[in-house]
Amino acid sequence: MADTPGIVARGLRRSFGDVHAVSDATFEAPAGRVTALVGPNGSGKTTLLLMLASLLRPDAGSVRIAGADPVEGAADVRARIGWMPDALGAWPSLTARETLIVTGRLYRLPRERAAARAAELLGLVGLVDLADRPARVLSRGQKQRLGLARALVHDPAVLLLDEPASGLDPQARIELRVLLRGLAADGRTILVSSHVLSELEEIADGAVYMVKGATVADDRVARAGSGTRDWRIRFLPGRDPAASGEFVSALVGAGVDVSTVRRDRSDLVVPLASDETAAACLASLVAAGLPVVEFAPVTGRLEQTFLGLGTPEDRAS
């Protein structure tokens, strides 16, 4: 599975009348990696995912999913992908177990294999205790877990996930991260769309950004992700060296303007111009003997880049 080409899209376009939902989507999502799909509401992410899933025909452009063409070979693509939409759309009369068995049968798994696969996946997503309840009565988070299990029934090479963490409690979010990293390590291509950038930060190997229906070029992404961002500094509880000469000297020695430091509850926040400046600042603080227990950016790289791509008006379609 690790040798599959993943997702390759070139110049994808799709309009609905005068609305150009996707005007130019060009990107690659390699196998064995988790790729984040990032953009504001209305930027074309869901339309793009529907085209990748062979559920919506592009007006122009080309795409290959694990080597197959969604337009010319929709059946081949659907055999290779696991598609998890934002809403489960459960069959009202079926239990969680039956939902997975029926899905397996639709993928032409033998009856016994479909039942065994359903049991395996219910354990994987933590729904064993709810296996024989009607899927319609599950909570939002439980339906999300069932949706992920349904996407995995046929052991696909590519996963297309739209807001998979929506409605999950903190423990379930952790389990989802571990699961997705494991699936990527097995060689699968995983493309994840989510508005929770902090969640994506912890699982994604790379990102595709969409603005006004188009994917953003690599050079613009690099510029947006660079520049000043805030870093949080936390010292040992009960110790507050912020006003000490050692602290001031350490920052000055790292080339940091001390006047820009501000307090956030018991922490200090300082804007730093680059990762190199951050490394120098931390080294200087440690060399001064200050009891630093946390030194980390306030926002992750995905959020930094997203915000750097423009104002909300610029990012909206």
Whether 99 and 201 share a structural domain: yes
- pLDDT tier, 4 (very low <50, low <70, confident <90, very high otherwise): low
Average pLDDT, the chain: 89
Whether residue 229 is contained in a domain is answered as yes
The pLDDT confidence band at residue 5, using thresholds 50, 70 and 90, is low
In this prediction, residues 229-254 reach a mean pLDDT of 84
Tokens standing for residue 145: 């877990």
Is residue 112 situated within a structural domain? yes
User: Are 173 and 273 within one domain?
Assistant: no
**pLDDT value of position 192:** 95
Q: What is the pLDDT of residues 15-25, one digit of tens each?
A: 999 999 999 99
- Give yes or no for a contact between 59 and 14, defined as CB atoms under 8 angstroms apart: yes
At 33-67, the pLDDT tens digits run: 999 999 988 899 999 999 999 999 999 999 999 99
Mean pLDDT calculated for residue range 243-255: 84
123-158 pLDDT per residue, tens:
999 999 999 999 888 888 898 899 999 999 999 999
Same domain for 239 and 208, yes or no, is no
Share of the chain above pLDDT 70, in %: 95
pLDDT band at 256 (very low <50, low <70, confident <90, very high): confident
Sign of CA dihedral 161, 165, 168, 173: positive
242 & 137 share domain: no
| Count of domains forming the chain | 2
- pLDDT of amino acid 247: 86
Residue 90, pLDDT above cutoff 80: no
User: What local confidence, expressed as pLDDT, does residue 299 receive?
Assistant: 86
Q: How confident is the model at residue 312 (pLDDT cuts 50, 70, 90)?
A: very low
**Within the chain, where are the H helices?**
45-52, 74-80, 96-106, 111-124, 140-152, 170-185, 197-203, 218-225, 245-253, 275-287, 301-308, 312-315
Whether pTM exceeds 0.75: yes
Answer with the residue of higher pLDDT: 87 or 263.
Answer: 263
The pLDDT of residue 80 is 94
Residues 185 and 235 in one domain: no
- Here the CATH number for the domain that contains residue 182 is 3.40.50.300
Same domain, 238 and 185: no
- Of 199, 216, 233, the last residue of a domain is 216
Whether pLDDT at 315 is above 60? no
Specify whether 143 is located in the same domain as 239: no
The Cα–Cα gap between 149 and 124 comes to 8
Cα dist from 251 to 164, 225, 247, 256, 269, whole Å? 42, 24, 6, 5, 12
Which tops the pLDDT comparison, 185 or 265? Answer: 185
Same domain, 15 and 154: yes
12 and 93 both lie in a single domain: yes
Percent with pLDDT over 90 in the chain = 57
Looking at the structure, do residues 199 and 260 belong to the same domain, yes or no? no
Residue 206 has pLDDT above 70, yes or no: yes
Residue ranges making up the domain that contains 113: 7-216
Is residue 312 in a domain? no
> Closest Cα partner for 292 from 260, 259, 255, 244?
244
Position 11 confidence tier, pLDDT thresholds 50, 70, 90: very high
